[in-house]
Amino acid sequence: MKNQLIRFVVSTSSTLLACLAACILTKEAIASETVMLEYGFWQEWVSIAAMQNFIQTGKTTSGIRTYLKIARQEPEQFQSLLTQQVPVNPVKLYKALISQSGESVLDRISEVIRTPSGRASRESLRSALVGSALADENISLIEVFAKYPTQELYVDGNRLTEVYSQIQEIGEKLSSNSPAMKE
């Protein structure tokens, strides 16, 4: 019994260290710089820096202005969507996201936030979500975009609210220790 407990603690610690190392190394090696913002047939590259500037100052680029017009969103709505924070423990989050139900959630979110090639979107998204939660135990969409481990990512702007809701649901399930999102 004691040996099983020791093995569990060592295994859990190793997993956590591997996750933290991957997130830290990924952050330093590659971080997303631009987002291909899509809405229906419309697509345009928008830099993460431009999005962050928009959040802080309200100044828009032509891409953000066009997105707001097509999406029929007020600037404040988009700013709020990008910056709303979901509290979550990064260790619990990582453990949940490597479970079968967690991978299913990642696959659904990866339909909206994905790599340019569409490959390894699940792993990239997991890294971005955990990376977002590491600093302050909160996740926001703008942090997920910035922590995404590719220089570019594709985002379906028509479904961003859906993604935020899914992330919020993950946070709620983890904070309530719901069996639906077991680690």
Structure tokens at 9: 């603690």
Task: Report residue 175's pLDDT band, with 50, 70 and 90 as the boundaries.
Answer: confident
Is a pLDDT exceeding 70 seen at residue 156?
Answer: yes
Q: State mean pLDDT over 77-83.
A: 97
What is the average pLDDT value for the chain, to the nearest integer?
A: 85
pLDDT band at 29 (very low <50, low <70, confident <90, very high): very low
pLDDT at 55 over 80: yes
Strand (E) or helix (H) holding 156: strand 152-156
The answer to whether 26 and 149 have CB atoms below 8 angstroms apart is: yes
- Give the pLDDT band (50/70/90) at residue 178: low
Characterize 7-32 residue by residue with b for buried, 16 or more Cβ atoms within 10 angstroms of its Cβ, and e for exposed.
eeeeeeeeeeeebbebbeebbeeebb
pTM for this prediction: 0.81
User: d(Cα 123, Cα 110) in Å, to the nearest integer?
Assistant: 9
Give CA–CA dist 46/33, Å, rounded. 9
- 155 forms beta bridges with 37, 113
pLDDT score of 88: 95
The helix or strand, by DSSP H or E, that contains position 58, with its residue range, turns out to be: none
Average pLDDT over residues 126-144: 95
**Maximum Cα–Cα distance across the chain:** 63
Q: Write down the domain spans for the chain.
A: 2-181
Angle at 104 between CA 100 and CA 108, to 5 degrees: 170
Query: CB within 8 A of 182, min separation 6: which ones?
Result: 96, 99, 101
pLDDT score of 25: 41
Residue 24: its pLDDT value, please?
44
Confidence of residue 154 (pLDDT cuts 50, 70, 90): very high
Is the per-residue pLDDT at 182 higher than 90? no
pLDDT at 103 over 90: yes
Going by C-alpha positions, the residue among 116, 138, 122 that lies closest to residue 33 is 116
